[in-house]
């Protein structure tokens, strides 16, 4: 991939995420942190802070995004954190792949 392609890809993905966020807002979804990488990955992370439990907010997003071809929730550890994530192959019919993740536990320093 050349730089021009990556820039175009990020622009298009950001536009699509913007439309997805409008739908999420209209549905009363809790906020999450969004990242669009230079390689075209779209990641939504459910923060620990917010209304309701982190697991409830995570489950609401899993349902809202309509995870098709859903992999089972997988749990993995990195640098003292336990993460949980699922992947949506075609989130809300947008054609984009979204990884939804949350930090389940962070070891104290």
pLDDT digits (tens, 9 = 90+) for 6-60: 888 888 888 888 888 898 999 999 998 888 888 888 888 888 788 888 888 888 8
Strands (E), the chain: 33-36, 42-46, 74-78, 81-88, 98-106
Buried b or exposed e, range 29-54, using 16+ CB within 10 angstroms: bbebeeebeeeeebbbbbeeeeeeeb
**Total-model pTM:** 0.71
Task: Give the other-Cβ count within 10 Å of 10's Cβ.
Answer: 16
Counted residue by residue, the chain has a size of: 109
pLDDT digits (tens, 9 = 90+) for 61-108: 888 877 644 454 555 555 555 556 666 665 556 666 677 777 665 555
Q: Two tokens at 92?
A: 């809300």
Residues 52, 49, 40, CA angle at the centre, nearest 5°?
110
CA distance 47 to 31: 8
Q: Is 59 helix (H, G, I), strand (E, B) or coil?
A: helix
């Amino acid at each position: 991939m050349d730089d021009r392609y990556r820039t175009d890809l990020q622009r298009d993905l950001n536009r699509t995420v913007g439309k997805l966020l409008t739908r999420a807002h209209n549905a009363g979804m809790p906020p999450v942190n969004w990242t669009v990488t230079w390689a075209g990955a779209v990641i939504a992370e459910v923060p620990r802070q917010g209304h309701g439990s982190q697991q409830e907010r995570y489950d609401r997003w899993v349902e809202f995004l309509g995870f098709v071809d859903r992999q089972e929730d997988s749990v993995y550890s990195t640098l003292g954190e336990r993460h949980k994530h699922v992947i949506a192959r075609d989130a809300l019919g947008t054609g984009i792949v979204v990884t939804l993740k949350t930090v389940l536990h962070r070891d104290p320093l």
